[in-house]
Amino acid sequence: MNKHKFKYKWNLADGYPAKEIEKNNLKVFGTFICGGGSSMGYKLAGFNHLGGVEIDPKLAEVYKENHNPRFFYNMDIRKFNELEDLPNELYNLDILDGSPPCSSFSMAGNREKDWGKNKQFREGQANQVLDDLVFVYCDTIIKLQPKVFILENVKGIIQGNAKVYAKNIVKKMTDNGYKVQVFLLNAASMGVPQKRERVFFIGHKKEFDLPKLKLSFNEDAINFSQVTCDGNDEKMSDNETKNWHIAKPGQAVGKFQTYKKLEMNKVSNTIVASNPHYHPSEARRLNYAEEKMIGTYPLDYNFKGAQPRYLIGMSVPPVMVAQIAHEIYLQWLK
């Protein structure tokens, strides 16, 4: 059996970094920081995470409660890019991280129909053109000039007509002094108990002339049977209960294909912000502890009243980020 470098079941009270990982104190700053999934990944891997940018005021409060950031900006990334009084530390970053909202590129969304349109991502946020945000984040990278940048997005950004966005991201960053690689990674091979494919654009300044980054993860799969536990946090409707009894494990519960009845001896489907998954043998939705472990969020995270599934579904799993960050440290920054 492979030993999992980073644990899917953990607590903030355990402290950072993860056991057997040395603290390196290299500086990271995040954008589109949400509830802090990526931040925790860098901290688990030994990095010093300075803070970040988040447009949503409610999510900003959750982030500050759990992370006590040194630098935090509750604003649109476009406004952040206009600031001229940023601290010097942000111009001397080892890694700048960003996961621009990806619904425009998701294969489950409207894709081309929504490109170029103003949309409100959620209540409390401003209307904005979401597919432009990948390039707005590129402007942030160019502004701050980190040694290394990471841009994460859904698999759909390298499929179909969206490939032009991916090519333009690489071109823009190459033209502005970075060597860029593109990786498609599945969290299920990285010690995360869910099938979650994500694309990572990872670049470093050309002046460092570093070798190509190699990212290959082959950790043992963690099936749902390893994370299931007692508890029932969300009551199902009568219709849900009826559909649960009809569905077989692995099938959709009801008409929406993203509402899955999980399979006990298989890896969980991707945790989605707005959609519940269901236990395979108990007539209930997944409980919060199961969702936290599947998303590799700490069991003692303070969600400040927010639904855990929303933040977990919106986040890159902390363990997924920790795996990538650890390799970047070993191969490039150490």
For the chain, give the mean pLDDT: 92
Reduced to 3 states, what is the DSSP secondary structure of residue 272? Answer: strand
Indicate whether 276 belongs to any domain: no
The answer to whether the bond into 17 is cis (omega within 30° of 0) is yes
Identify whether the C-beta of residue 95 lies closer than 8 Å to the C-beta of residue 328: yes
- Residue 150 lies in domain: 12-220+317-333
- Above 70 in pLDDT, residue 44? yes
Sign (positive or negative) of CA dihedral 106, 267, 308, 19: negative
The DSSP letter of residue 331 is: I
Q: What is the percentage of the chain residues whose pLDDT exceeds 70?
A: 90
Q: What is the pLDDT of residue 101?
A: 86
Q: What is the pLDDT of residue 324?
A: 98
Sheet containing strand 197-205, strands side by side: 71-73, 48-53, 27-31, 95-98, 148-154, 197-205, 178-186
Question: Could you give the angle at which helices 133-144 and 163-175 cross, rounded to 10 degrees?
Answer: 10
Q: For residue range 48-67, list pLDDT tens digits in order.
A: 999 999 999 999 999 999 99
Q: How far are the Cα atoms of 23, 25, 30, 271, 313 from residue 42, in angstroms, in the given order?
A: 10, 10, 10, 21, 18
Taking the whole predicted model, whether its pTM rises above 0.85 is answered as yes
Q: Which of 17, 85, 8 has its CA nearest to residue 48?
A: 17
Catalytic sites, residue numbers: 102
Residue 291 φ/ψ region, left for φ over 0, alpha for ψ in the -120 to 50 degree band, beta for the rest: alpha
- For the chain, the domain total comes to 1
Indicate whether 255 belongs to any domain: no
Indicate whether 169 belongs to any domain: yes
Q: Which of 192, 252, 196 has its CA nearest to residue 227?
A: 192
* Domain at 113, CATH number: 3.40.50.150
Indicate whether 47 belongs to any domain: yes
Indicate whether 7 belongs to any domain: no
d(CA 229, CA 115): 41
Indicate whether 303 belongs to any domain: no
Tokens matching residue 227: 């994370």
Q: For residue range 158-176, list pLDDT tens digits in order.
A: 998 889 999 999 999 999 9
